[in-house]
Structure 1
Amino acid sequence: MRISAVSIPGLAVVTADTAKDERGAFTRFYCGETFAAAGLGFTPMQVNLSRNPARHTLRGMHYQDPPRAEAKLVHVTRGAIYDVALDLRPTSATYCRWFGIRLDATSSAGIFIPEGFAHGYITLEPDSDVLYHMGRIFEPGFGKGVRWNDPTFAIDWPAHPAVISERDAHYPDYAGQDGPETAD
């Protein structure tokens, strides 16, 4: 497993090693020792799978404020997505900047997204499955979001969504908002 820093501090591309033989393949998506050695304090508490039958399904951009902020490790187990992490940490030098990456089932690459980021993706192929290792157990009622096409962020999506929830399509403009709450 290799962990590589990207242009926004805290984000990392996590490339899993896959062992292949006549039986098929075996991939380890998470190793606590490897994360600790890279300085990433992340321990999964919950694992989720998102199934997306249609191409160009958009999910996001979702986040939760402290003290319920969520770190996550995202991999694609079938199909392909364009994954986006958006820095909403008010004191960050990269506040309101985003990072996007193509993730697919054949590359074994994933992305680690720390607390304080909004996250979303658009499917690039039909029947795309996304595996999330979450650093916190989900608590209903605390989810927030920003609109996928908000001009404040100018995210360069590779396609226009064909499928999107009403909630995700209609978040208000972020400009002029106070931003996410910070922990005391």
Structure 2
Amino acid sequence: MVEVRKLGLDGVFEIRPAKFEDERGFFSETWNAEKLASAGIDVDFVQDNQSFSRARGVMRGLHFQTPPFAQDKLVRVLSGSIFDVAVDIRKGSPSYGKWVGLTLSGKDWNQILVPKGFAHGFVTLEPDTEVVYKVSAPYSQPHDRSIRFDDPDIAVDWPVPTAEMTLSAKDAAAPLLAEVETGFVYS
């Protein structure tokens, strides 16, 4: 059994896989293409990525890849917790520049599906947070793009104050959405 919930932006879902626990521990089927296709989610994943953040307040994002290396992402947390965000970057979309956020944690065992045409980012909410995510296209440096996590036109309500965040040099220098050619057009 898997629970799928729409998060208010076209194609962005929270997924809660079943978790079967006993005295030994637990078992969970975190991705089942057939079951999720029956729920309207049909994605072929080609690569798994994993990150570990030592401190609370580590900001990663907002990232995306342009076509033809655009990526769907299925993000989950193994330990710790994050506030995860998807931003619609499809020009002409009724929700262009809008965002949706969700707390993911190892305890809650939930995931977020971020489709192509959306920028993705997260901030860690506690130390020693480990994140795993599947992507539908391999990493391509020439197609890799970033948008400012604190773009005032997007106005994400991050639960960690900016002054307490740790960013990479790439993310700190990211342009505003209005300055980026995303390569995505709403149809």
With normalisation by structure 2, the TM-score equals 0.92
- Stretch moving more, 111-120 or 153-162: 153-162
The equivalent of 2:165 in structure 1 is 162
Cα distance in 2 for residues equivalent to 1:124 and 1:134: 23
Partner of 1:8, secondary structure, is: coil
1:174 aligns with: 177
Q: Which amino acid aligns with 2:157?
A: D
1:93-122 deviation per Cα after TM superposition (whole angstroms, max 9, x unaligned): 211100001110011111001001100000
What letter corresponds to residue 180 of structure 1 in structure 2? T
What is the total number of aligned residue pairs between the two structures?
182
Query: 3-state SS of the aligned residue for 2:143?
Result: coil
**CA–CA separation in structure 1 for the residues paired with 2:35 and 2:184:** 29
Contact 2:146 2:175 in 1 (8 A): no
Maintained 8 Å contact 2:88/2:119: yes
> Which runs of 5 or more residues in structure 1 are unaligned?
none
Q: 1 or 2, which has the higher helix percentage? A: 2
Instruction: Please give the alpha-carbon distance, in whole angstroms, between the structure 1 residues aligned to 2:141 and 2:67.
Output: 14
Deviation at 1:178, TM superposition (A): 6.1
Assess if the C-alpha contact under 8 Å between 1:147 and 1:168 holds in 2.
yes
CA RMSD, aligned part only?
1.4
Given that 1:88 and 1:179 are in contact with CA atoms closer than 8 Å, whether structure 2 keeps it comes out as no
Gap runs ≥5 in structure 2: none
Q: Is the 8 A contact 1:90 1:179 kept in 2?
A: no
CA distance in 2, matches of 1:178, 1:122: 22
Which residue of structure 2 aligns with residue 58 of structure 1?
59
Opposite residue 125 of structure 2, the aligned amino acid is L
Q: Return the offset for 1:44.
A: 1.5
2:68 counterpart of 1:67: yes
Conservation of the 8 A alpha-carbon contact between 1:4 and 1:12: yes
Q: In the aligned structure 2, how far is the partner of 1:78 from the partner of 1:19?
A: 18
TM-score, normalised relative to structure 1 = 0.94
Q: Residues of 2 paired with 1:94 and 1:117: CA distance?
A: 11
Residue 102 of structure 1 pairs with residue 103 of structure 2 = yes
**Aligned equivalents of 2:171 and 2:20: distance in 1?**
38
State whether residues 75 and 130 of structure 1, in contact with CA within 8 Å, keep that contact through their aligned partners in structure 2.
yes
Q: Give the distance between the partners of 1:179 and 1:95, measured in 2 at CA.
A: 13
Structure 1 residue 152: Cα displacement: 1.2
Query: Residue 178 and residue 25 in structure 1: after superposition, are their counterparts in 2 closer, same or farther (change >3 A)?
Result: closer
Alpha-carbon distance in structure 2 between the residues aligned to 1:173 and 1:106:
34
